[in-house]
């Protein structure tokens, strides 16, 4: 996601911003056999969300913990949209961890899951620095990074945020591929969300390897046991609801499921200009009904 620094007088925003963005304590350069590298010093954190899930038995956060993490992340993106500044250049995109000091995701109890954002090695301000390719992990990249002739915008953040929210809420990502090439990721996106806009569909030279010209999945390319399309509902079942049930955790109610789907689908619209804005995400039914109550209990609201 793009790195952003924001200014606002709202107490909520001030508190949440200080909690989520770690302060820069120091910075220095290290010269070694692989070149000269800039190092930054920030307060220590426990582990990444992915690491916590990988260390757990079921690869899940407890439902209320997942709601809280999603709300913290969405609220920061949605409410900090006043002044946009890029972080300094030269920050490494990789961190080498000498030991494990974390907690498995299923051991977290509500109230312990305060998050911070870090690793801004590829941050940039799209208003000042046009970029046409994404450094985000392939399965999180928006389709415009491959097909659009326009530079990336903050709408690309919204797509990545939606993919992140799905994975926080369940066991598996929305889009999956053992070898996530650009074509394989696009095939996953089309299988879940439907055919690409015409101008992008025509650009995709390998589309007929997975679909016919109407965007219908070729049965022989399906990874489902019955050779059918793995729809949104099917993925919601085996990524979120089923694993929760097997772990003895509460499943999403039909009401939450509907609000959750409406929010994410609005964030996963193919054309970036039609995608939900951060403010619209913040005012979605899911945020009002489940996200904000979780923040209130944490004392953020």
Distance (Å, whole) CA 115 – CA 113: 6
Whether 5 maps to a domain, the answer reads no
Whether 6 maps to a domain, the answer reads no
Whether 107 maps to a domain, the answer reads yes
Residue 100 CB neighbour total at 10 angstroms: 10
Which of 140, 146, 175 shows the shortest CA–CA distance to 158? Answer: 140
Whether 282 maps to a domain, the answer reads yes
Whether the model pTM is above 0.85? no
Structurally, the chain folds into a number of domains equal to 1
**pLDDT tens digits for 24-51?**
888 899 998 889 988 888 887 777 888 8
**pLDDT tens digits for 136-153?**
889 999 999 999 988 888
Whether 158 maps to a domain, the answer reads yes
Whether 84 maps to a domain, the answer reads yes
pLDDT above 50: residue 214: yes
Across 90-109, average pLDDT: 52
- In terms of C-beta distances under 8 Å and separation of at least 24 residues, what long-range contacts does 174-181 make, across chains too? 174/235, 174/239, 175/139, 176/139, 177/138, 177/139, 180/137, 180/138, 180/139, 181/138
Q: Kindly report the CATH number assigned to the domain that includes residue 23.
A: 1.10.510.10
- Domain containing 98: what range? 11-298
Whether 52 maps to a domain, the answer reads yes
């Amino acid at each position: 996601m793009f790195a952003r620094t924001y200014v606002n007088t709202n107490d909520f925003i001030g508190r949440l911003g200080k909690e989520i963005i770690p302060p820069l304590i120091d910075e220095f350069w290290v010269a070694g056999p692989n070149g000269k590298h800039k190092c930054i010093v920030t307060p220590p954190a426990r582990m990444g969300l992915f690491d916590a899930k990988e260390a757990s038995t079921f690869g899940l956060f407890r439902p209320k913990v997942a709601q809280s993490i999603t709300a913290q992340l969405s609220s920061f993106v949605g409410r900090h949209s006043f002044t946009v500044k890029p972080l300094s250049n030269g920050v490494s995109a990789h961190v080498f961890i000498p030991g494990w000091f974390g907690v498995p995701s299923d051991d977290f109890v509500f109230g312990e899951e305060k998050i911070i954002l870090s690793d801004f090695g590829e941050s940039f301000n799209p208003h000042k620095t046009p970029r046409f390719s994404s450094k985000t992990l392939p399965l999180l990249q928006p389709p415009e990074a491959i097909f659009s002739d326009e530079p990336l915008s903050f709408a690309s953040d919204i797509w990545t945020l939606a993919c992140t929210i799905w994975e926080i809420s369940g066991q598996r990502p929305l889009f999956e591929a053992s070898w996530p090439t650009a074509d394989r990721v696009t095939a996953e996106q089309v299988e879940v969300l439907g055919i690409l806009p015409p101008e992008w569909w025509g650009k995709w030279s390998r589309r007929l390897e997975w679909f016919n010209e109407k965007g219908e999945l070729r049965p022989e390319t399906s990874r489902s046991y019955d050779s059918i399309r793995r729809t949104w509902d099917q993925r919601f079942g085996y990524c979120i609801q089923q694993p929760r049930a097997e772990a003895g955790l509460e499943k999403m109610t039909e009401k939450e499921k509907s609000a959750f789907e409406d929010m994410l689908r609005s964030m996963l619209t193919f054309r970036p200009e039609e995608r939900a804005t951060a403010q619209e995400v913040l005012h979605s039914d899911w945020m009002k009904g489940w996200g904000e109550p979780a923040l209130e209990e944490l004392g953020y609201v």
